Amino acid sequence: MNAVPAQHASRPAFRKLSTQEFLEARFALTLIVPAVLAITLVAFYPLAHAFWLSLWKINLRFANTPWVFLGFGNYLDTLTDDPRWLNALRVTGTIAVSSLTAEFILGMVFALVMNRAFRGRGLVRVAVLIPWALTTVVSARMWQVIYHATYGVFNRLLFDLGIIEAYKPWIISPIFTIWAMVWADVWKTTPFVALLLTAGMQMIPGELYEAAAIDGATGWDRFWRITFPLLRPTLLVAMLFRMIDVFRMLDLPIVLTGGGPGQATETLSLYTYRVIFTDLKFGAGSALAVMTFLVILCIAFVFIKVLGAPVAGSEAEDR
Amino acid sequence: MGSSRRVRPVQALLMHLLIAVIIIWCLAPFYWTVITSLKQANAIYYSPTTYLPNPVDLASWIKVVNLPRFQGALLNSTIIASSVTVVSLTLGSLCAYAIARLRFPGKNIVLALVLAVSMFPGIAIISPLYLQFRDWELINNKLALILPGVTFTLPVCIWTLTAFFRDLPRELEEAAYVDGASRIQTFTQVIGPLAAPGVFTTAILLFIASWNEFLFARTFMSKVEELTAPVAVAQFEGADIAAVTPWGEISAAAIATTIPLVILVLVFQRRIVAGLTAGAVKG
């Protein structure tokens, strides 16, 4: 932003150019207005509206129940006395940590393979794109069939391989369910991570590896001294988006487990959704929604400002 | 990187093994769903389950494909995803062109807005949108999905297109100006045709994203005939009222809604990968 006036002042034919610059800026603003309007009216205005709703006690269960102004009462209630919210935070945090760890390790392995030249690359690309393109609820349905306690193939396979001695109720047991869900999530999202990491690897100049080979570096050295550090920006961006996705996660638990058993897999977004549309508490639910938004904002802040994730728009661009 | 070095046979074998594992891992759940959809109704309930459908039975498929509410859901999804794609591309390409090529004050504010929306949890605005759409009588109206669909696909649209526009040679536009073309003419007649491959790639990404949208679709559509495909699959309990869950029909429904996406992936795999990474990884 600062670059524009600076260049402006240093130009000799100031008056003529400034008219041209004015015309260019006016044309640019005309082009961006529709998109900015769409974003403002359907995202930012409703967010402000959600904040307004969160200050009230609103129950739509019975018609004509009057709204009661609570100020920050809904927020205080959640923060001081809401075990279900704490549970949802814990569930979401558990998924975030385990899911991200698994998909970044696997994604890195995938990427290292996909980054090599070999016959049948196209086949791998198609295979990897299919979990990515699938609708999450459709994949949830698929995993329901796979995980079934008596006629699921997951049980049969593990049993045949001798890994388990008896069939397990993967998605109705309080112990296994969250891990079964993490596994399904890792399956669906690893391809996305792998594709981003592959793209990142392809931007690393080949000379670096050649130089390292001349210096006698092992494959392990090359990975930790060249690939990994140069991949850091890509890793951060991918992690940021995956992290945010976990905090938005609702479709997988709603279909695969219904958040159960009990509330064992009730994520932050699913809990919020239920307060709004099952309990019909629009005020309290909006407060939860605003808090979910704030959590995501904090995550984004840490990734972009503290860790320096190079997300488009996070830094000044002069072009 | 690897191709230039000498590859030892053990390494090569390991690589091929890894490639096979990756392909199997990615396709196995999909494969299993296809198998389940092709089994005889009672064969699905064998325990232990059988690895192959024997005999192959198309009954589940015939039931699902002939179900009017399922056909309707596929049609609804097609209409909504296409509308979102067209509108989002129109708004997004104008905005992306301005970001990629023109100088104007406040560009970083626009970029920050777009970034913020890309991180927006849909859940944060679902309550006010619901009340608003109820007041405007848009519940069970496709507009209730098209409006937020456009907004939430715009970030991907703008990023991907900005990356594509930046890669176009600047000289062509300058030549057009010299020839006396106006800015709008330059955009529609010079940039437009050149950017067509990029626009097309972006269109595929947007179509997949809006086809898969679930939160708004589940909330703003309550009538059976207005459901989108993902919601119909999520709520699908079979063609008839049955005592046992009809996993065969559910599997067939899941695969049927995925077929359009699989076709897109098969045909446009290169473009999808290029588009997916263009916006996220900066060169």
Nearest to B277 among A42, A196, A255 (CB): A196
Residue A46 has pLDDT above 90, yes or no: yes
The verdict on B274 and B193 lying in the same domain is: yes
User: What radius of gyration, in Å, describes the C-alpha atoms of chain B?
Assistant: 24
Closest C-alpha to B230, from B208, B213, B247: B213
CB contact under 8 A, B26 and A317: no
Residue where one domain finishes, among candidates B16, B33, B59: B59
Residues A227-231: what's their mean pLDDT?
A: 90
Outline which parts of chain A fall under CATH 1.10.3720.10: 73-306
pTM: 0.89
Residue B31 sits in the same domain as residue B104 = no
Neighbours of B266 (CB within 10 A): 12
Alpha carbon distance A274, A277 (integer Å): 5
> Mutate which of A130, A158, A236 to disrupt the B interface (most B C-beta within 10 Å)?
A130
Q: Does ipTM exceed 0.95?
A: no
- Confidence check: pLDDT of B5 > 60: no
Give the model's pLDDT for residue A10: 45
Average pLDDT, chain B: 87
Place of tokens 């990734």: A303
Closest CA–CA distance from residue A198 to any residue of chain B (Å): 9
Do B97 and B124 lie in one domain? The reply is: yes
* B261 contacts in chain A (CB < 8 Å): 133-135
pLDDT digit string (tens) for B117-142? 988 899 999 999 999 999 999 999 99
For A18-28, b where at least 16 C-beta lie within 10 A, e where not — what string? eeebeebbebb
| Beta bridge partner(s), residue A281 | A59
Would you list the DSSP string of A110-177?
HHHHHTS--TTHHHHHHHHHHHHHS-HHHHHHHHHHHH-TTT-HHHHHHHHTTS-SS---TTTSTTTH
Residue B13 with chain A: CB contacts under 8 Å: none
B117 interaction partners in chain A (CB closer than 8 Å): 39, 43
Enclosing domain of residue B134: 63-280
Separation of alpha carbons B124 and A294, rounded Å: 10
The second-level CATH assignment, the architecture, of A73-306 is Orthogonal Bundle (1.10)
In angstroms, the CA A218 to CA A201 distance is 18
CATH classification at residue B129: 1.10.3720.10
A248 pLDDT higher than 80? yes
B39 and B153 in a single domain? The answer is no
Q: Does one domain contain both B83 and B25?
A: no
Choose the mutation target among B127, B222, B266 for the interface with A, i.e. most A CBs under 10 Å. B127
A159 CA: distance to closest CA in chain B (Å)? 10
Whether residue B250 and residue A38 make contact (CB cut-off 8 A), yes or no, is no
* Residue keyed to tokens 């945010």: A244
- In total, the C-beta contacts within 8 angstroms joining chain A to chain B are 315
Instruction: State the Cα angle at B193 between B91 and B152, rounded to 5°.
Output: 25
- How far is Cα B129 from Cα B135, in angstroms, rounded to an integer? 10
Distance set, CA B247 to CA A141, B218, B262, B270 (Å): 9, 22, 21, 34
Strands A56-57 and A68-69 turn out to be: antiparallel
Q: Single out the residue of B190, B205, B105 nearest to residue B152, CA to CA.
A: B205
A61 vs B151, residue with greater confidence: B151
Q: Which of B83, B72, B76 is nearest to B206 (CA)?
A: B83
**B48 pLDDT band (50/70/90 cuts)?**
confident
DSSP designation for A310? -
Query: In terms of pLDDT, which residue wins out, A196 or A213?
Result: A196
In a shared domain, residues B48 and B84? no
The number of beta carbons lying within 10 Å of the beta carbon of residue B187 is 21
**Are residues B35 and B74 part of one domain?**
no
Q: How many CA atoms lie within 13 A of A115 on its CB side?
A: 22
| pLDDT tens digits for range B93-107 | 999 999 988 888 888
Say whether pLDDT at A148 is over 80. Answer: yes
Polymer length in residues for chain B? 283
Q: B257 and B167 in one domain?
A: yes
Task: Answer yes or no: do B67 and B48 share one domain.
Answer: no
Q: For an interface test with A, which of B119, B134, B271 has the most A Cβ atoms less than 10 Å from its Cβ?
A: B119
Q: Indicate if B176 and B252 belong to the same structural domain.
A: yes
- Chain B, residues 127-156, CB within 8 A of chain A, namely 127-132, 147-148, 150-152, 154
Average pLDDT, chain A: 86
Rounded-to-integer distance, Cα A248 and Cα B165, Å:
31
The residue of chain B nearest to residue A53, with distances taken between CA atoms, is B128
For every residue of B133-177, DSSP letters joined together read HHHTT-TTSTHHHHHHHHHHHHHHHHHHHHHHHHHS-HHHHHHHH
- In tens, the pLDDT along B154-181 reads 999 998 899 888 888 888 878 887 887 7
Q: Which of A1, A4, A35 shows the shortest C-beta gap to B94?
A: A35
Count how many domains chain B has. Answer: 2
Side-chain half-sphere CA neighbours of A31 within 13 A: 27
Residue A319: what pLDDT?
A: 36
Is B105 in contact with A141 (Cβ distance < 8 A)?
no
- Mean pLDDT within B234-239: 81
Chain B nearest CA to A59, separation (Å): 12
Contacts of A151-155 with CB under 8 Å at 24 or more apart are A151/B44, A151/B45, A151/B46, A151/B47, A151/B48, A151/B49, A152/B49, A153/B32, A153/B49, A153/B51, A155/B48
Comparing alpha-carbon positions, the chain A residue that sits nearest to B215 is A251
Instruction: Report yes or no: B98 and A31 within 8 Å, Cβ to Cβ.
Output: yes
